[in-house]
Amino acid sequence: MKTRLTLVTIVVGLLFAERLYAGDNDQLYRMELGIDGGLGYYAGDAQPHIFQDIREAYGAAFRYQFDRRWSLRAKGMAQRISGFRPDGTGFANKKEGRWTNQIVNVDVVGEFNFFPYGRIRHDRRITPITPYIALGIGVGIHSEWKKVSAYMPFIVGLKWQPVPHFTIHAAWQHNVYFADNLENVTEYNNRYDLNGGSVFNCDVTGQLVVGVAVSFLQDKNECHCK
């Protein structure tokens, strides 16, 4: 009962705020700060499949919007990966116990909205909800802060602006590393020097997250008078 009451209160509050601030978002807001939280996964020598052995993931992001379709985003995300230890021949074995490793991912991506994004009631070209994709480059700091590995992030997501200055989004980020050493276990860490020959020999991480963000720095130059 309390959960339902809380959800109803949030929805009513958003609808009231939308009425209260209608027309306040006629301009483009160039900057955005937000937080993300959700679930993370790992795939590599100790775990061949994604979306298994799910762990928590959380972080923060900064976005600079060039226009209503293109933006540049910088984000930091922390997650813990885990798997079974090797059996002496390079394969994971449940009887050998588990290993864990903390990773902090920092990346910069170019982001593209499928629709012009924002809240302008008198301009039907602008929509408060849009799917988006992003691609960029990043580095993962791991193994007790002793190793740094580069990766390529790919992101698909959906963002919604229920009221001016406030955005809710959900996203899936998939990171392909240019390395085979995320486990911090000697037998898994590129033991046979194979990861340079094929991307399929590299480690992978990813996150499924939801987040909220606040927009600021209004662009006074944008006009929708026509």
DSSP 85: P
Q: Is 142 exposed, middle or buried (0-12, 13-18, 19+ CB in 10 A)?
A: buried
Query: What is d(CA 138, CA 103) in angstroms, rounded to the nearest whole number?
Result: 12
Tens digits of residue pLDDT in 69-117: 999 999 999 999 988 776 665 566 666 678 889 999 999 999 999 999 8
Domains along the chain with CATH numbers: 2-218 (2.40.160.20)
Q: Are 13 and 20 contacting, i.e. CB atoms less than 8 angstroms apart?
A: no
Query: What is d(CA 59, CA 38) in angstroms, rounded to the nearest whole number?
Result: 9
pTM value is 0.79
Query: What is d(CA 217, CA 167) in angstroms, rounded to the nearest whole number?
Result: 15
Tens digits of residue pLDDT in 180-226: 888 877 677 765 555 555 556 788 999 999 999 999 888 765 454 44
Tens digits of residue pLDDT in 34-47: 999 999 999 887 88
Look at the block and give the residue holding tokens 């037998």. Answer: 187
